[in-house]
Structure 1
């Protein structure tokens, strides 16, 4: 072989190797973007994937998501990998302006540079879509972007995830996914009046703003929202949308549909390992039941027998994989009662996943149950069997019957 031939062979091999590495980065980026559930906010209901324009509702006004396709004028076509890392890590746009925390940079700051580079490579591989940005409808003074500097100074801790050498590789991987890419704390926490998450204790549950669902405490220890769950139960829910302890409804159903069902079993197990390590919680302070709660529960028992027992069983244990148990179900006994009310009124629709392509659904009862009967049956299931949660009132039902998140 001549020197020229050897050089050509070397260049050809280098090209093939570079292309293979590039393809690998794009595929890894696709997986990571799925783990981060990026499409949920950045894909409009009537448009191309990641082309932006989907409105993210907040208590302070609506913020349309930006276009993440590589269109030069309206998307990321003019961005560099450094710009993208700065957005993820620092919460700053490529022109240096502060991003609003509706984009969860408070969690994404933990994502490594290698992973942001892979996500950026994937986004750059998408077809370019021209979709001009839409103005937000934030109220004054929240729309004054320079005020974000004060918010960031108080609430934002910048920094990539650092592995804990005292923990296993699985635990660290789970912590990285839960705290960072998965941004679980964006829903599973209470927020203060400025929209900042209250992290102590971490992942202790809270009402999802505007959507008005209760995202449960994720501790599997005593008094935790997942007390009594095993790591296998957590993996089953994230993979299939259902487990022996409950089913994914509301916003969590979309998370399973778009994101977690597509993750590897190893990553799901790692997330479960991390959640299992969250500390026990103090005994919850349930709100006091209103006067007449006993009579309400008795009335609810009749409604339950007529409307619910056929599927969920007189003993509240459910029926196989079709109908989830209500006895000991955290969605039933959460501190607020919101989820049980919402499901009775609007129905329960589990996600259709690869492992559960035709899930059973619960029909809505908003048209057939008045506020009094709905409050009665919810109060009954929150206090029947081993459940010991507070009653809900007809006023609670009325509030969530007309909630904007319905």
Structure 2
């Protein structure tokens, strides 16, 4: 009888412990908001029918890696991982078997996250449907395929540590800093990299080329950054993919659709408050205007193909056809994004806040390299704009980039 009673008590204790360890619906819901803020689906979904099952190819200057499976499948996903395994992977870039991840997985940013937030993310991921999808090994140039090299990389460039709030700033500003520099990992695209793929920290958020596009400056540069944008401008852009000054295109359009458009108003505003406060971290480039012949050639192309939507004065139709005067991305030192749009066209991203669509045709077949360069120089240097000269050779290289 005592044995039976002891067994019943033990089972009750185990069941109670299991129930106590079950994540609450509130924690799971919070984890979902964090997963969206971190745009985890953007990298970890190759097949839309198998969300978070990994396998998406991510190109880097050193070759390609393939995102791992985040579903709770016990054989090919993270179903067997402990909380400690997950936290160590997120915050330190170390897999359960002790091997190092490559920093294409943005653990140098995620290290700033709190343990509670990492566990909330894990709680949400555990509710996903398990999908069997074995992780694919990276396809990297020699010798970068040796993961052991990451120990040296981490020693040189990885600085683990939580986000440190600035006590002189508001709670909203600090929340924005936490999201931008940590979970949102904005610098992964918008911060220039050194030869080893590590951030140039002194140039944080001052623009960087990514996959044939240019992720523009998010600092306070007057001409090519966000100095002229208000908090409301930034928040509207993040929530809808457009505002009166610009439209999201390329990789940023995906970020808006998968991430920032789903975030809470409070979190988006916090990010906007933080970004709006950033100083310029480097000087604007001194620009020598194109000569009159180049400007006349560009104006001829603009008058024929662009004026119907963008107007003679470049004013366009804000939130439908983006205005060109004082357009920060258009004037960036790197013209990659502008060339991509002219060559391949653009599709206005649609979000719940801005569901109307818009299209711009591509002109890769219609225009020569010289014509593309001329019209690019014209719009980058008209209406008060100032952008460095674009050459036909740059256009030729842009044509070879995969859209």
**Could you say whether these structures have the same fold, taking a TM-score greater than 0.5 normalized by the shorter chain as the test?**
yes
Gaps of 5+ in 2: 1-12
Instruction: Supply the distance in 2 between the matched residues of 1:123 and 1:200 (Cα, whole angstroms).
Output: 35
* Structural mapping, 1:285-296, within 5 Å: 285-286=285-286, 293-296=291-294
Deviations 1:204-260 (A, max 9, x none): 11111xx11111110135355123111101001000010011000011000001000
Deviations 1:36-61 (A, max 9, x none): 00001101135411001111111111
Instruction: Supply the distance in 1 between the matched residues of 2:281 and 2:119 (Cα, whole angstroms).
Output: 38
Equivalent in the alignment of 2:400? 402
Match 1:121 to one of 113, 120, 123: 123
**Are 1:218 and 2:218 counterparts?**
yes
Aligned-residue offset at 1:197: 1.2
- Equivalent pairs counted in the alignment come to 388
**Paired residue secondary structure (1:100):** coil
Equivalent in the alignment of 1:33? 35
CA contact (8 A) 2:163 2:182 kept: yes
Equivalent in the alignment of 1:8? none
When structure 1 is superposed on structure 2, of 278-287 and 372-381 the one drifting more is 278-287
For normalisation by structure 1, the TM-score amounts to 0.92
When structure 1 is superposed on structure 2, of 26-35 and 386-395 the one drifting more is 386-395
Instruction: Supply the distance in 1 between the matched residues of 2:21 and 2:349 (Cα, whole angstroms).
Output: 37
**Are 1:380 and 2:382 counterparts?**
no
**Paired residue secondary structure (2:278):** coil
Instruction: Supply the distance in 2 between the matched residues of 1:178 and 1:320 (Cα, whole angstroms).
Output: 26
CA contact (8 A) 2:226 2:276 kept: no
**Are 1:269 and 2:269 counterparts?**
yes
Equivalent in the alignment of 1:6? none
Match 1:71 to one of 73, 78, 81: 73
Equivalent in the alignment of 2:55? 53
Equivalent in the alignment of 2:317? 319
* Structural mapping, 1:5-404, within 5 Å: 22-45=24-47, 47-208=49-210, 211-223=211-223, 225-286=225-286, 293-404=291-402
Aligned-residue offset at 1:389: 1.3
CA contact (8 A) 1:317 1:326 kept: yes
Instruction: Supply the distance in 1 between the matched residues of 2:285 and 2:143 (Cα, whole angstroms).
Output: 35
Deviations 1:264-306 (A, max 9, x none): 11111100111111113443224656xx743122111011111
Instruction: Supply the distance in 2 between the matched residues of 1:335 and 1:107 (Cα, whole angstroms).
Output: 26
Instruction: Supply the distance in 1 between the matched residues of 2:42 and 2:216 (Cα, whole angstroms).
Output: 20
CA contact (8 A) 1:110 1:176 kept: yes
**Paired residue secondary structure (1:57):** strand
**Paired residue secondary structure (2:32):** helix
**Paired residue secondary structure (1:98):** coil
When structure 1 is superposed on structure 2, of 247-256 and 41-50 the one drifting more is 41-50
Instruction: Supply the distance in 2 between the matched residues of 1:224 and 1:166 (Cα, whole angstroms).
Output: 28
Instruction: Supply the distance in 1 between the matched residues of 2:118 and 2:62 (Cα, whole angstroms).
Output: 29
